[in-house]
Amino acid sequence: MLAILFLGFSSGLPLFILLNLLQAWLATSGLNVKALGLFALVMFPYTWKFLWSPLMDRFSFPTMGRRRGWMALTQFALFIAIGYLGGLDPLTDVARIAIMASVIAFLSASQDIVIDAYRREILPDNEQGLGAALHVNAYKLAGLVPGSLSLILADRMPWQGVFWVTAAFMLPGLFCTLLVREPQVYGAPPKSIRDAVVLPFKEFIARDGWNKALWVLGFIFLFKLGDSMATALSTKFYLDVGFTMTQIGVIAKTTGLWASIAGGIVGGVWMVKLGINRALWVFGVIQAVAIFGFAWLAVSGPNPVLLGAAIGFEAFGSLGLGSAAFVAYISRETDPRYTATQYALFSSLAAVPRTFINSMAGYIVAGTGWFWFFIICFLLTIPGMMMLPKIAPWKESR
């Protein structure tokens, strides 16, 4: 569990560098807003990581093994790439910065693939829930470095130094990788690239047939759909209600972060007692009901106490409880022989609503207003919940 904590932090750090630190650096250097918007395109590896995940199931390193070898390689490469990025000039090296940001996103997505596989293989099924909760919380905590510490340092030292200091936070994860043991190999790993690509899909379909496979894929797509859409335009919603930027920054950052961490801890411990199946039922209901807090806020006006309550409840129920159960479920559905490929496929599918479906949120709000938008988001949680008797029967408390 301690290793999962360090590796979860290492997994989250590069993503928040791209989301927070890179944007702040480019903006303060004078890059125009149109160019800043285009930098969102460097995130594409996170959605397509399943394409190269079979390589991480197929190939291993002679001295470190299959999982530790890939983790060490990606973590060291990220340390170098992040530090190097800060030495470029945003005004004259925009193209090279875009290339390096894409490289960091690729390395980060690759690190996610192997860390997810390591966590699945190192823990027994009854500890997947707690392991998922620790991973999710450590992932979020990593955002405090580029989103807070690095920005404070930027007022006191050159940007190149800031990036190297931030890159150094990859080293604890690397040292952890060097110290932990390689997971046990279940059966023979794929013997060729073809096997690494074909066998994970063949096993998934042959496990319970096409019908069950489609149910699993449908559930992974739908379970977080309504909740994800409800928060797609959260900052815009808070501004429209009448909150100031300061209120949003203070309340959203503090309440949301710590409530989600508390939810992850409670969810992980509770799942040990409930089991993953029942946790999906209980946490799924809480996750859906939390959306009503935003609907209430939409009709009540700018009440800071209600804002904190709505954000806190949503973060606790969705980012904490719901995400912990969902990640644990995805982990359980992977075969230990093909963990990297199957987990990357499932997590990429889960990211589709966040990437594409949420793009329609603005059109829905324009047509319905905020209150009915959140009612629609709640209704979108129902299809996923209705699949639970088939996907995760209550009586099977595994």
Please give the average per-residue pLDDT across 348-373, as a whole number: 78
- Confirm whether 308 is domain-assigned: yes
Least confident of 33-42, 101-110, 280-289, 312-321: 33-42
pLDDT recorded at residue 204: 86
173 with 203, same domain: the answer is no
371 with 243, same domain: the answer is yes
CA dihedral 67, 73, 75, 81 (to 10 degrees): -150
383 with 237, same domain: the answer is yes
Q: What confidence tier does 133 reach under pLDDT thresholds 50, 70, 90?
A: confident
pLDDT recorded at residue 320: 84
- pLDDT tens per residue, range 238-295: 888 888 767 776 777 678 778 888 888 888 888 888 888 999 999 999 999 999 999 9
229 with 376, same domain: the answer is yes
Domain span including residue 43: 2-179
Is residue 18 over pLDDT 80?
Answer: yes
Contact indicator for 293, 312 with CB cutoff of 8 Å: no
- Confirm whether 191 is domain-assigned: no
**pTM (whole model) above 0.85:** no
8 with 143, same domain: the answer is yes
304 with 357, same domain: the answer is yes
- pLDDT tens per residue, range 68-92: 999 999 999 999 999 999 999 888 8
Is residue 33 over pLDDT 60?
Answer: no
Number of domains making up the chain: 2
Contact indicator for 376, 363 with CB cutoff of 8 Å: no
Is residue 29 over pLDDT 90?
Answer: no
131 with 226, same domain: the answer is no
175 with 200, same domain: the answer is no
238 with 337, same domain: the answer is yes
126 with 48, same domain: the answer is yes
Q: What is residue 44's three-state secondary structure?
A: coil
Angstrom distance (rounded) from CA 202 to CA 158: 52
Is residue 336 over pLDDT 80?
Answer: no
- Confirm whether 218 is domain-assigned: yes
pLDDT recorded at residue 187: 60
Is residue 367 over pLDDT 90?
Answer: no
Least confident of 3-12, 137-146, 380-389: 137-146
Please give the average per-residue pLDDT across 122-131, as a whole number: 80
CA 279 to chain CA mean position, Å: 19
Q: What confidence tier does 230 reach under pLDDT thresholds 50, 70, 90?
A: confident
7 with 143, same domain: the answer is yes
The CATH number linked to 70 is 1.20.1250.20
